[in-house]
Structure formats: C-alpha cells, structure tokens
C-alpha cells in the first residue's frame, strides 16, 4: 500500500464525495437492507443539491483520504447548527467516516479519525460524538478502541425500517 494523504475537501470535490459516499454506504449496508430502500437513500443523501449544500456550510468539514490520485475514503464533521442532533457548541460530530471496502484494515479509518481529533482540538471542542448502527460491529469496535462510550440511542430510518443507532462520545483532554 502506498501512503495515504488526507486533504480538506471543498465544493470542487463534490463528485468525489458523492461517489465515495454512494460506494461505501452500499458496500457496508446493502446486504442488510432492501434494494429499494438503498436506492432511495443513496439518491437523497448524495444528491448534488444536498452534498453541495453540506460542502458550502461553514460548520461542516470534509476531508478526503487519497491513495495517490485515488480517493479511498472521506470524513464529514459537523459543529454548531450543522450537527444532526445535539447542537452543542462545545461538541464536534463525526457524521461519517467512510472507507472503501478495498481499504478496510489499512488504517485509513484511523487516519480519518485522527483528522477528526485534530480538527476538534483546533476548534477547541470538549468532546466528539457520533451515531453508529448497532449492527455495524466493525464500526462499534473501532470507536470503542478509540475511547468512545455509549450515552444513548436514536432511530435511523432507512426505507420503511427503523434502525437503532447507538450514540457515542469521547471527552477530549
């Protein structure tokens, strides 16, 4: 494996974010959900309008992991009003750490998480938080290994199905 570079993303990276987002979400969740639910979610969540709006939001921060000139993952962070739930000014939400299946086990997720940690510290945040599907055992193990603890849950709707996300947080020193 060649080295992975993490770069801040902007509006010029719109298509890259859409493509990585669609690919990684499908790789991770397609076999657990209906084809119709997946199609609708991918169309809505990675539409040009939605991703463009997110990239232009000053309270959202995107980073892309590159292996040479190939994007292999990305990170989306939210502060202030951009947070999906807590809206706590002292917190930074990790909304997404998405890594292509081809790069699982190659520390790309860890590099993206390290970027989240650095961003939180640069923004003087007290803690990081996120929601992760209770059945995504790989992600749960990753976050626990990095010091996150559960503090609640919320419902994530995909198609006609309600799924439970565990809410996790990590207090920063």
User: Which residues have a catalytic role annotated?
Assistant: 143
Q: Rounded CA gap, 103 and 72, in Å?
A: 7
Both tokens of 169, joined, read: 């947080």
CA atoms within 13 A on the CB side of 106: 17
What HEC string does 76-89 produce? EEECHHHCCCCCCC
Burial class (CB in 10 A: 0-12, 13-18, 19+), 161: exposed
């Amino acid at each position: 494996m060649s080295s992975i570079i993490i770069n801040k993303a902007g509006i010029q990276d719109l298509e890259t974010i859409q493509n990585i987002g669609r690919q990684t979400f499908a790789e991770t969740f397609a076999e657990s959900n209906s084809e119709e639910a997946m199609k609708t979610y991918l169309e809505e969540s990675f539409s040009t309008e939605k991703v463009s709006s997110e990239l232009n939001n000053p309270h959202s921060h995107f980073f892309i992991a590159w292996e040479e000139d190939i994007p292999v993952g990305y990170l989306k962070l939210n502060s202030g009003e951009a947070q999906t739930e807590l809206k706590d000014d002292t917190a930074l939400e990790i909304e997404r750490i998405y890594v292509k299946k081809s790069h699982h086990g190659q520390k790309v997720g860890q590099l993206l998480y390290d970027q989240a940690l650095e961003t939180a510290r640069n923004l003087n945040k007290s803690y990081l938080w996120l929601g992760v599907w209770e059945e995504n055992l790989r992600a749960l193990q990753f976050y626990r290994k990095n010091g996150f603890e559960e503090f609640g849950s919320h419902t994530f709707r995909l198609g006609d199905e309600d799924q439970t996300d565990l809410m996790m947080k990590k207090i920063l020193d």
